[in-house]
A and B are shown apart, each in its own frame.
Chain A
């Protein structure tokens, strides 16, 4: 019996998550009809069962190490379910199904591969797989075009965004590669203060990265391009500590941005609506979404309009692009701040896991994975709050979207595995 309490903090936190899920669901359900519909409670209950199931799975496997990531990912997913229930209740069943699949992917990642370091050994395979996945939306049969972007693949009615999986593969590949060639890349010859990068060694990762960029630019998925760039620069910095590389990278990105702005119409539109969304010609056309999003934020105030009380449904495609604004409208700045704090805590925990990891590969991988969550959150919330142009990235765990959910839960599983390995090697709990 005491075996069940091997991961007590995790269990205690999951109780809070359960309370959160139920409260949110009740608030949304009750606000819709002034009567109380018991059947709506099935969703949070099903989710809680799922989360507890994952917790028990970890207990049975004797997992040690971090007990924070699972409850936090569960909390975020629970909030996501509440918001989908609020904003697009017809999609709720779909989101729950994907949550189930994500749980399955989580379990699968915990079980296979048996040895984390195998990931480092097969880095070129991951690179190849990444390439294949990136190119797949362009293929005839399974590639699908949605809203002018060719980033989906589908089998039957199920659609998937492969670039989400590629971001993880990229991190693993970079981590493996950088660990192996770290010494050389990190001690470049210097020309005064400026390092001269050893090009032959940088070439493979540069090539891989460049390919990824070109593909997503070609597929008109600028959010993914931004993410890949960020991952590349971050991992390079983690491995070498050369801020100079990062600086060059950012400069190149800005130059690339200007080029892309002039070359692609849809980029121009995105930037123009970012700069002047309220201008007469944009506010009812391309800028309508961001304008409505800002109206929603304004309605939030400090404590929000109340769950179910705002009008977030006026934002087009709010359930996947603007969930943050919907949440901020109904729970106010207080709620939005708590959500951001939750993400920051998640990333912070991931970075701590990376710090304590025993090998450079694991350190780089865990750091990269945590960075993915940080960058994704910052880019989408930044776009939602008009700090940067809007992109098509989704808010991790919370926004509606199956591919994002599955890959992010795989990410969590990988981080937990690193933490478990560290605990075993270092002899801590």
Chain B
């Protein structure tokens, strides 16, 4: 009886270690699947679609997938680069806050327009609104 109890105890101890590792591997598997699902299913936070542009780039109809924070301007380092003379090098920032989109003008020469009206500093934009930077007009969509 004593020997079997000893063996049983030993088996329980081994089981604990085994379960720990199995849990670890399982959790890792869940993580992998979650990452794959998230990548596959993820819709962009938002899109800017070019509606009007007198110059050739960006083309009308081109879609920019938005991140949490997007820098817009003439400079090539911007997230959305608009090589338009009327746009300032660093013109505006389109940012998501509190599940809402906000556009902030960074002190540009010609200002930023939302639905035709020039904004003061920061303004909320909703899906369907039109944003104009320089001579390029873009619509915010899902």
Residues of chain A having any CB pair with chain B under 8 Å: 9, 12-13, 16-17, 19-20, 23-24, 26-27, 30-31, 34, 66-68, 71-72, 75, 115, 117, 183, 303-304, 306-309, 331-332, 334-335, 338-339, 341-342, 345, 348-349, 352, 356-361, 363, 421, 425-429
The distance from the CB of B79 to the nearest CB of chain A, in whole angstroms, is 13
Within 8 A of A (CB), among B106-128: none
Over the window 1-33 of chain B, the binary record of Cβ atoms lying under 8 Å from chain A Cβ atoms (1 yes, 0 no) is: 000010011101101110111111011101101
A429-B33 contact given A24-B16, A26-B12, A27-B12, CB 8 Å threshold: no
Within 8 A of A (CB), among B25-68: 26-28, 30-31, 33-35, 37-38, 41-45, 68
Inter-chain contact A9/B69, CB cutoff 8 Å: no
Please, could you name 21 A-B residue pairs with CB atoms under 8 Å apart, sorted by A? A12-B26, A13-B26, A16-B22, A23-B12, A27-B9, A72-B27, A117-B99, A306-B10, A334-B21, A339-B20, A345-B31, A357-B68, A359-B96, A359-B98, A360-B95, A363-B68, A425-B96, A426-B44, A428-B37, A428-B41, A429-B41
State the CA gap A12–B34 with chains docked (Å).
14
Question: Which residues of the partner chain A approach B41 to less than 8 Å between Cβ atoms?
Answer: 426-429
State the CA gap A307–B42 with chains docked (Å).
45
A352-B97 contact given A67-B30, A335-B20, CB 8 Å threshold: no
By beta carbon, the residue of chain B nearest A79 is B20
Inter-chain contact B19/A303, CB cutoff 8 Å: no
The distance from the CB of A18 to the nearest CB of chain B, in whole angstroms, is 10
Inter-chain contact B34/A341, CB cutoff 8 Å: no
Chain B interface size range: 35 or more
Inter-chain contact B12/A67, CB cutoff 8 Å: no
State the CA gap A66–B21 with chains docked (Å).
21
Inter-chain contact A68/B17, CB cutoff 8 Å: no
The distance from the CB of A229 to the nearest CB of chain B, in whole angstroms, is 28
Inter-chain contact B16/A23, CB cutoff 8 Å: yes
State the CA gap A216–B116 with chains docked (Å).
55
Inter-chain contact A68/B97, CB cutoff 8 Å: no
Inter-chain contact A421/B99, CB cutoff 8 Å: yes
The distance from the CB of B102 to the nearest CB of chain A, in whole angstroms, is 10
By beta carbon, the residue of chain B nearest A121 is B98
**A19-B19, A26-B12 given; 20 more Cβ-contact pairs under 8 Å:** A16-B23, A23-B16, A27-B16, A30-B8, A68-B30, A68-B34, A72-B27, A183-B93, A303-B17, A306-B10, A331-B20, A342-B20, A345-B27, A345-B31, A358-B99, A359-B96, A421-B99, A425-B99, A426-B42, A428-B41
State the CA gap A24–B95 with chains docked (Å).
49
By beta carbon, the residue of chain A nearest B67 is A358
State the CA gap A332–B26 with chains docked (Å).
21
A331-B98 contact given A16-B23, A34-B5, A429-B37, CB 8 Å threshold: no
7 A-B pairs with the lowest CB-CB distances in the bound complex, closest first:
A117-B98, A16-B23, A428-B41, A427-B43, A27-B12, A306-B13, A9-B30
